[in-house]
């Protein structure tokens, strides 16, 4: 099993290209099930989750063709992948596939909308929380589907097709909003979604669906209206930049000092996280085709933060920010409101010398003068990269084990950091 070795102490200087967003790519790929024409996605990142979803879609009969990167091409430029679901050969998503990636449950929406039936395994447990699928099921039932839970599967049917309706999400859910956008695009009549998620990835999916012929308005607000259409066509759509990757590298620069330009992205994608970084003493400037991040000589100020749905501080940046706060000049408090088990990185950061105490959903971080390298274990995707950020400044050598978590969401992380001066290498077992 691969691991990453880091020798801390180097500033980061240079340029890091930002890849296409994982959290946008996955629902966009699933949207290919809605049409018998070809959906072409540009700027698709090289990630383990993308490869897994390709296998899942192929199980349903989706053909695909990948245009790879050319030699010496910018590592931040993603692939172009053509998806064609002209023939759906199977409307069942089996446990052995769905259990490997929760987002694969989302195929239930497009399959119901186009084929009027679906049998999808419940995704099972998740390391960072329960993440129930009841919002998905309730939403699809509101569109006229009958859904029964049988032997660990959601067995869904919509005789005659889905029918538009008003649905109020009892709590904000990005995944459920994705599914309802796709399902309602082929439903008869009008669907109004209230308390919908507002993330940029929601807007990106709506743009793609509209390019395919859907009629969606209000994406990016809490109320989204969808006028159902009889059929969708193919389209060509570029995946938006990854805001979590953008924020992660910004925090890595904040941690180490130095001066890095993140290209192919924008500060607007980070929303409140930009203000949080500035409060910590980091300079974030918009430049042509990206943002510049630097902290030359100044210390890291403690900042209290609470995760919240977009445009609040992202839960997917909480672990990275905690790593940054371990080197602040005081005490900070980090409150996690989205997932109940998303502090598993605390004990691993403590192995590097961090001082963190937990009380319910609040982590109190007392900044320390130095961290020291040690072997650590990645527990989930975002937690694993927080250990990398801490390792960049830890004295001596840090080894991050179980880096397959990193490969799920960060494209060529060690290469991008290494090109900016980090002493980081991947070691294959």
Active site residues: 126
Is 2 annotated among the ligand-binding residues?
no
Sign of the dihedral defined by the CA atoms of residues 87, 90, 94, 96, in that order: negative
Is 131 annotated among the ligand-binding residues?
yes
Sheet order of strands, 38-44 included: 63-67, 79-84, 38-44, 235-238
Residue 163, helix vs strand vs coil: strand
Is 303 annotated among the ligand-binding residues?
no
Residue 369 burial by Cβ neighbours in a 10 Å radius (0-12, 13-18, 19+): exposed
Is 150 annotated among the ligand-binding residues?
no
Q: How many CB atoms are closer than 10 A to CB 18? A: 26
Is the bond into 60 cis (omega within 30 degrees of 0)?
no
Q: How far apart are CA 159 and CA 146, in angstroms?
A: 9
Is 172 annotated among the ligand-binding residues?
yes
Q: How many CB atoms are closer than 10 A to CB 162? A: 25
Kindly give the interhelix angle for 318-325 and 381-391, rounded to the nearest 10 degrees: 20
Is 102 annotated among the ligand-binding residues?
yes
Is 173 annotated among the ligand-binding residues?
yes
Backbone angles phi, psi at 252, to 5 degrees: -65, -40
Structure tokens at 230: 């009889």
Place of tokens 């925090």: 251
Backbone angles phi, psi at 248, to 5 degrees: -65, -50
Per-residue DSSP letter, 288: T
Is 23 annotated among the ligand-binding residues?
yes
Is 70 annotated among the ligand-binding residues?
no
Q: Which of 82, 85, 102, 104 is nearest to 34 (CA)?
A: 85
Structure tokens at 78: 């993603």
Per-residue DSSP letter, 102: G
C-beta of residue 197 within 8 angstroms of C-beta of residue 24: no
Q: Which of 40, 187, 29, 207 is nearest to 114 (CA)?
A: 187
Is the backbone of residue 252 left (phi > 0), alpha (psi -120 to 50) or beta? alpha
Is 316 annotated among the ligand-binding residues?
yes
* H or E element at residue 118: strand 117-121
Is 44 annotated among the ligand-binding residues?
no
Is 338 annotated among the ligand-binding residues?
yes
Binding-site residue positions for phosphoenolpyruvate: 22-23
Binding-site residue positions for UDP-N-acetyl-alpha-D-glucosamine: 102, 131-135, 171-174, 316, 338
Binding-site residue positions: 22-23, 102, 131-135, 171-174, 316, 338
């Amino acid at each position: 099993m691969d691991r990453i070795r880091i020798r801390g102490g180097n500033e980061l200087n240079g340029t890091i290209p930002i890849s296409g967003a994982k959290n946008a790519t996955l629902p966009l790929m699933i949207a290919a099930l809605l049409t018998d024409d070809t959906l072409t996605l540009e700027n698709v990142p090289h990630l383990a989750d993308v490869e897994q979803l390709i296998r899942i879609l192929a199980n349903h009969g989706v053909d695909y063709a990948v245009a790879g990167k050319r030699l010496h091409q910018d590592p931040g430029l993603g692939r172009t992948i053509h998806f064609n679901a002209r023939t759906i050969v199977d409307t069942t998503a089996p446990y052995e596939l769905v259990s490997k990636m929760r987002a694969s449950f989302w195929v239930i929406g497009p399959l119901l909308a186009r084929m009027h039936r679906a049998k999808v395994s419940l995704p099972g447990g998740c390391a960072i929380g329960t993440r129930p699928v009841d919002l998905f099921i309730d939403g699809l039932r509101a569109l006229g589907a009958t859904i029964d839970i049988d032997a660990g599967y959601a067995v869904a049917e919509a005789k005659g097709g889905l029918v538009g309706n008003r649905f109020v999400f009892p709590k904000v859910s990005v995944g459920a909003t994705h599914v309802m956008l796709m399902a309602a695009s082929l439903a008869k009549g009008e669907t109004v979604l209230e308390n919908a998620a507002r993330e940029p990835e929601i807007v990106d999916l709506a743009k793609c669906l509209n390019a395919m012929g859907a009629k969606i308005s209000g994406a990016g607000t809490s109320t989204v209206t969808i006028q159902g259409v009889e059929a969708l066509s193919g389209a060509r759509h570029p995946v938006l930049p990854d805001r979590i990757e953008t924020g992660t590298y910004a925090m890595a620069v904040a941690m180490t000092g130095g001066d890095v330009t993140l290209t192919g992205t924008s500060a607007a994608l980070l929303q409140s996280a930009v203000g949080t970084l500035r409060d910590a003493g980091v300079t974030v400037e918009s430049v042509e085709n990206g943002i510049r991040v630097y902290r030359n000589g100044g210390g890291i100020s403690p900042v209290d933060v609470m995760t919240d749905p977009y445009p609040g501080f992202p839960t997917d940046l909480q672990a990275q920010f905690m790593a940054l706060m371990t080197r602040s000049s005081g005490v900070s408090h980090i409150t996690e409101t989205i997932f109940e088990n998303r502090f598993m990185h605390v004990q691993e950061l403590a192995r590097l010398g961090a001082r963190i105490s937990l009380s319910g959903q609040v982590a109190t971080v007392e900044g320390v003068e130095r961290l020291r390298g040690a072997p650590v274990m990645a527990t989930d995707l975002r937690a694993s990269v927080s250990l990398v950020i801490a390792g960049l400044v830890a004295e001596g050598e840090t080894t991050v084990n179980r880096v397959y978590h990193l490969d799920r969401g960060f494209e060529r992380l060690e290469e991008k950091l290494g090109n900016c001066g980090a002493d980081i290498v991947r070691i294959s077992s």
